[in-house]
Chain A
Amino acid sequence: MTENLAVSIVEPTIYDLSSPGRTGVTFPAPDVPKAELPQGLLRSDLPLPELGEVDVVRHYTNLSTFNYNVDNGLYPLGSCTMKYNPKINEDTARLPGFAFAHPLQPVETVQGNLVLMYQLQEWLKEISGFAAVTLQPAAGAHGELTGVLIMHAYHNSRGDIKRKKMLIPDSAHGTNPASSSMSGLEVVQIPSDGRGNLDLAALKAACDETVVGLMLTNPNTLGLFDEHLEEAIQIVHTCGGLVYGDGANLNALLGIIRPGDMGFDLMHFNLHKTFSTPHGGGGPGSGPVGVSEKLADFLPSPIIGIVEEGQDDRLPLYGFLSPAKSIGRIKSFNGHFGMFVRAYTYIAMHGAEGLREIAEYAVLNANYIKARLNGKYAIPYDRTCMHEFVVEGQWAAAPGVRALDIAKRLMDYEFHPPTNYFPLIVHEALMIEPTETENKATLDAFADALIKIAEEAKTQPELLKEAPHKTPFGRMDEVKAARDLVLCCWLPEVNE
């Protein structure tokens, strides 16, 4: 073994870097007489770190270099749609008219914002085939909660109060069952069949007058378009249930098919996946919800509409409308407006044809990698996939190797790994979604790396088991993190 000459690259914490007496910003002295402070209600100390501006900038710049990101390279996380985020979005979202508008300003002073939101609602309706859209939900899961509350409220409003069950496929994302139980519903799991479709017999058997509905991701989390989709929707509708679409995978459907046309009753969009708003290291997202005509009255309040029709030379006045049987407000203010500006910019630049190309090339890219991996990795449901597909990260000839090891080894080839261990119905799942913004050379390099790793798994498994080797950090002791629970670099004196 060679001597480790590298200096540790660990960056001190912001508290380690603190030195008493420094500050990164100063503010003007008060230009008004000082008022008496509320004695007895003042805090005794304020244990924040003390740094100069340059210290802060260097600290975060250093930290940023430890992150893999879309501008670095392919980020093939299945179900996450990590496409390139156009730079222009960042500029438009920061235009002063947008960035410096208070959410409670009179509507007359924010017509630009309201027109943008109105247009975005209209475009999302057109793209999805739904009758009405709310922009309020903050993320996909938040859209789901909104949707589940709407479904429940719809049944209750018809006096149909026995409905307490939500049907959810075994391949579903965890947010689907969690959203359902937050609304007090019981979750009934529906298995998948041998081709990765929903098992129709099991669905039929579960459908009765206690069913609120079905939450369906389509294409599903195996990247497959359900071959009996219309039948499945029919079965749920026949028992009086509604069908919710988890729109996480809408990228595959833009201009290809509209969920509303297929009979979905409602669906959430993920502006942070399909419409290119950046993921921000975990958020913010944005999860608008589209609904069919009969559910429009239940949308969260308010939605954006025309409150005074225009005339000749007068423009219409845009403002807020309250749906008649609204489930209520799901978030403060007007939703993630900054994300609306980015998504609007993106859709405006694509138009109908551009959107269809997104889906076409996303599907092309996924099928291309899948074709390249064929024979090297087991592909449990081997048919034309949509924008993503799932392989098994295990081989009989490499007994000790797991999907996790493949994921870590990919880092040595300078790729972010795919999603692993999801969906739960595939053993050692690796779920690959390249998105449309990757060129052939990148896809080839990625496929080559995976193929090489498949060989290494059999010849030099320890390379995988100990990977990654070339990243600044190695594998983590997750047990220590959970047992020691150090969640703060600084612990306050606690007043019990």
Chain B
Amino acid sequence: MTFIPHAPKERDAMLKTIGVKSLEDLFKDIPEKHRFPNLHLPKALTEMEAAAELGELALGNENIRTDLVCFLGAGAYNHYIPAAVDHILRRSEFSTAYTPYQPEISQGTLQATFEYQSLIAALTGMEVSNASHYDGATAVAEAVNMAFAQFRGKRTKVVLSPAVNPQYRAVVRTYTQDMGLSIEGDDPSAKLAPDPQTLIPLINDNTALVILQYPDFFGRIYDFTALVEAAHSQGALVCIAANPIALGLLKTPGEMGADIVAGEGQPLGIPLSYGGPYLGFFATRKKYIHKMAGRLVGETVDNRSQRAYVLTLTAREQHIKRERATSNICSNQGLMALAAAIYLALLGPQGLRQVAELCYHKAHYAAEKIAEVPGYSPGFATPFFHEFTIHCPKPVAEINAHLLEHGFLGGYDLGQDYPGLKDQMLLAVTEMNTKEEIDALVDVLAEVAHD
């Protein structure tokens, strides 16, 4: 089945207007040797058959709504998404529009993006937000690009906390591999700093950026104010990768003095969808916006004196500044930013605080109950938000296999990334987990310990 609406008669009339006899005649510039290859693809399906085939593939997964109880986080979280979010996203006025380069007929996208920027600024405690990045990991990598541009390449060191999500750290390394930067602090085999202050000696006058996470990958929360001050005293910038749900409850990175707040916006109304599309959010201080990557919407008026919005400061971006732009980003996560905006608008301060507190209380209940089970003990004594680590009596893989048999999606195996944290598991608890589920999890954990 195709989506080509031409009747044969119309096609022939068009060919005649063009002055060629057949469709093939349009492809004379194509080297004959390779023209019209035989593609080995399955026979075309009708919509009805495609729906069935995709339905079949989807059933080849165990999903966390009906098949598994999820205690897995590690950068992607199971939260409730109010029905209105997807109903609005499905409007083709939003979903099938292009980047709003023509503001007269794109005010829907532009105003929604402007509001998204406002909501992200409010949530992070910063002055400006851009219109989005691909995901949390790339948003953090773009923070490095921005800092590098801010110092015009003269500062060449990045201090990267080992407690930042390992995937973010990997992406930062991939992005910067040819930039002539050195990355320090990010040694997962080193003893994990019990306190982020231990990064301070690494920061010097060659440091462009310090990267922290809040809550960190282990769920721990720290007040980074002193660390940020220490970085600023060396002239370095600080990026804090934050969880947006935690910001419904916790002191903002803006209050701690951060220069950039980036992170994964998936928890804000975006389905897990096996890893994407998600949302990279990126907020900073106004004085840095000329070096910030990504699109930016600003308020203005049209020639009828109506308040309106446009893409602004576009000369920073690749389509104008080309090789001198801070980043190459073009398409971003427009529709995902809209999802986050709708989510935040629906929840408002009450709803978001409620979700954050539910996550907090339930995670603390779970942590406490698990610590009571012989063989298990908390990994850290530090305050945490909705994720925490536990020492396990057996390899994490073995425990997870057992949990899976009982219908639980267990925690993240920290030994994969941190050799020093062998047999430690990272568990996430959200508003979606009921007390019964937590109690049942604790029972199964107790059972595995004894096997």
**B327→A178 contact, CB < 8 A:** yes
Q: Which residues of B contact A492 (CB under 8 A)?
A: 121-122, 125-127, 254
Q: Which residues of A contact B115 (CB under 8 A)?
A: 13-15, 489
**B286→A65 contact, CB < 8 A:** no
Closest to B256 in A: A495
Quick one: which of B72, B254, B355, B434 contacts A494, CB cutoff 8 A?
B254
Q: Does A282 touch B at the CB level, under 8 Å?
A: yes
**A328→B36 contact, CB < 8 A:** no
Give the docked Cα–Cα distance between A164 and B83 (Å): 51
Q: Which residues of A contact B123 (CB under 8 A)?
A: 46, 48
Q: Which residues of B contact A109 (CB under 8 A)?
A: 61-62, 67-68, 404, 409
Q: Does A23 touch B at the CB level, under 8 Å?
A: yes
Q: Which residues of A contact B35 (CB under 8 A)?
A: 256-257
Give the docked Cα–Cα distance between A64 and B335 (Å): 12
Count chain A CB atoms within 10 A of each CB in B34, B68, B250, B368 and give the residue with the most: B34
Quick one: which of B104, B138, B320, B342 contacts A142, CB cutoff 8 A?
B138
What's the minimum C-beta distance from B24 to chain A, rounded to whole angstroms? 8
Q: Which residues of B contact A50 (CB under 8 A)?
A: 348-350
What's the minimum C-beta distance from B80 to chain A, rounded to whole angstroms? 7
Q: If A138-B135, A283-B331, A474-B104 touch, does A332 touch B61 (CB 8 Å cutoff)?
A: no
Q: Which residues of A contact B223 (CB under 8 A)?
A: 40-41
**B98→A281 contact, CB < 8 A:** yes
Give the docked Cα–Cα distance between A285 and B309 (Å): 23
Which of A77-85, A200-208, A237-245 makes up part of the contact surface? A77-85
- How many A-B pairs have beta carbons closer than 8 Å: the answer is 720
Quick one: which of B247, B252, B365 contacts A35, CB cutoff 8 A?
B365
Q: Does A397 touch B at the CB level, under 8 Å?
A: no
**B88→A339 contact, CB < 8 A:** no
Q: Which residues of B contact A140 (CB under 8 A)?
A: 330-331
Quick one: which of A175, A360, A466 contacts B328, CB cutoff 8 A?
A175
Q: Does B182 touch A at the CB level, under 8 Å?
A: no
Q: If A178-B325, A178-B328 touch, does A280 touch B334 (CB 8 Å cutoff)?
A: yes
Quick one: which of B17, B95, B308, B323 contacts A181, CB cutoff 8 A?
B323
Q: Which residues 148-173 in B have Cβ within 8 Å of A in the complex?
A: 165, 167-168, 170-171, 173
Closest to B181 in A: A184
Closest to B325 in A: A178
Q: Which residues 468-492 in A have Cβ within 8 Å of B in the complex?
A: 468, 471-478, 480-482, 484-492
Q: Does B381 touch A at the CB level, under 8 Å?
A: no
**B60→A111 contact, CB < 8 A:** yes
Closest to A279 in B: B98
Which of B183-191, B193-201, B291-299 makes up part of the contact surface? B291-299
**B98→A88 contact, CB < 8 A:** no
Closest to A98 in B: B58
Q: Does A5 touch B at the CB level, under 8 Å?
A: no
Q: Which residues of A contact B88 (CB under 8 A)?
A: 57, 60-61, 64
Q: Which residues of A contact B330 (CB under 8 A)?
A: 139-141, 173-175
What's the minimum C-beta distance from A430 to chain B, rounded to whole angstroms? 13
What's the minimum C-beta distance from A76 to chain B, rounded to whole angstroms? 11
**A364→B15 contact, CB < 8 A:** yes
**B90→A69 contact, CB < 8 A:** no
**A32→B107 contact, CB < 8 A:** no
What's the minimum C-beta distance from A470 to chain B, rounded to whole angstroms? 10
Give the docked Cα–Cα distance between A227 and B17 (Å): 24
Q: Which residues of B contact A484 (CB under 8 A)?
A: 298-300
Q: Which residues of A contact B2 (CB under 8 A)?
A: 349-350, 354, 357-358
Quick one: which of B14, B127, B289, B348 contacts A368, CB cutoff 8 A?
B14
Q: Does A47 touch B at the CB level, under 8 Å?
A: yes
Quick one: which of A139, A331, A341 contacts B137, CB cutoff 8 A?
A331
Give the docked Cα–Cα distance between A123 and B39 (Å): 9
Which of B3-11, B204-212, B371-379, B443-451 makes up part of the contact surface? B3-11
Q: Does A378 touch B at the CB level, under 8 Å?
A: no
**B312→A481 contact, CB < 8 A:** yes
Which of A289-297, A306-314, A437-445, A450-458 makes up part of the contact surface? A437-445
**B435→A416 contact, CB < 8 A:** no
Q: Does B192 touch A at the CB level, under 8 Å?
A: no
Q: Which residues of B contact A440 (CB under 8 A)?
A: 6, 10, 13-14
Q: Which residues of B contact A187 (CB under 8 A)?
A: 322-323
Q: If A99-B273, A141-B331, A476-B300 touch, does A71 touch B348 (CB 8 Å cutoff)?
A: no
Q: Which residues 298-321 in B have Cβ within 8 Å of A in the complex?
A: 298-304, 306-310, 312-313, 317-321
Closest to B349 in A: A46
Q: Which residues of B contact A348 (CB under 8 A)?
A: 42, 44-45, 50, 53-54
Q: Does A426 touch B at the CB level, under 8 Å?
A: no
Closest to B35 in A: A257
**B92→A26 contact, CB < 8 A:** no
Q: What is the interface residue range for chain A against chain B?
A: 35 or more
Q: Does A180 touch B at the CB level, under 8 Å?
A: yes
Q: Does A247 touch B at the CB level, under 8 Å?
A: no
Closest to B383 in A: A38
Closest to A166 in B: B323
Q: Which residues 2-22 in A have Cβ within 8 Å of B in the complex?
A: 8-11, 13-15, 18, 22
**A473→B97 contact, CB < 8 A:** no
Q: If A175-B318, A328-B170 touch, does A485 touch B312 (CB 8 Å cutoff)?
A: yes
Give the docked Cα–Cα distance between A56 and B364 (Å): 33
**A225→B30 contact, CB < 8 A:** yes
**B76→A327 contact, CB < 8 A:** no
Q: Does B393 touch A at the CB level, under 8 Å?
A: no
**B107→A473 contact, CB < 8 A:** yes
Give the docked Cα–Cα distance between A59 and B327 (Å): 33
Q: Which residues of A contact B335 (CB under 8 A)?
A: 278, 280-284
What's the minimum C-beta distance from A488 to chain B, rounded to whole angstroms? 4
Give the docked Cα–Cα distance between A138 and B103 (Å): 25
Q: Which residues of B contact A11 (CB under 8 A)?
A: 111
**A437→B5 contact, CB < 8 A:** yes
What's the minimum C-beta distance from A322 to chain B, rounded to whole angstroms? 12
What's the minimum C-beta distance from A146 to chain B, rounded to whole angstroms? 9
Give the docked Cα–Cα distance between A30 and B4 (Å): 54
Quick one: which of B178, B304, B350 contacts A149, CB cutoff 8 A?
B178
Q: Mark A344-375, 1 if CB is under 8 A from B, else 0.
A: 11011111111111101101110110111000
Q: Which residues of B contact A144 (CB under 8 A)?
A: 328
Q: If A35-B364, A174-B320 touch, does A255 touch B37 (CB 8 Å cutoff)?
A: yes
Q: If A109-B68, A332-B75 touch, does A174 touch B319 (CB 8 Å cutoff)?
A: yes
Q: Which residues 46-105 in A have Cβ within 8 Å of B in the complex?
A: 46-51, 53, 56-57, 59-61, 63-72, 75, 77, 80, 82-86, 88, 90-105
Closest to B24 in A: A360
Quick one: which of A82, A105, A180, A494 contacts B127, CB cutoff 8 A?
A494
Q: Which residues of A contact B104 (CB under 8 A)?
A: 408, 411, 468, 471-476
Q: Does A127 touch B at the CB level, under 8 Å?
A: yes
Q: Which residues of B contact A66 (CB under 8 A)?
A: 105-108, 111
Q: If A181-B324, A439-B6 touch, does A97 touch B60 (CB 8 Å cutoff)?
A: yes
Q: Mark A201-232, 1 if CB is under 8 A from B, else 0.
A: 00000000000000000000000110101100
Q: Which residues 403-445 in A have Cβ within 8 Å of B in the complex?
A: 407-408, 411, 416-417, 422, 436-440, 443
Give the docked Cα–Cα distance between A458 and B388 (Å): 71
Give the docked Cα–Cα distance between A408 and B302 (Å): 13
Q: Does B425 touch A at the CB level, under 8 Å?
A: no
Q: Does B233 touch A at the CB level, under 8 Å?
A: no
Count chain B CB atoms within 10 A of each CB in A47, A101, A357, A372 and give the residue with the most: A101
Closest to B431 in A: A27
Report 7 cross-chain contacts, Cβ distance below 8 Å, ordered by A residue.
Answer: A44-B255, A65-B108, A116-B57, A178-B323, A333-B274, A351-B41, A440-B13
7 additional A-B pairs beyond A282-B98, A284-B333, beta carbons within 8 Å, are: A35-B368, A43-B249, A281-B113, A283-B332, A361-B23, A371-B17, A439-B6
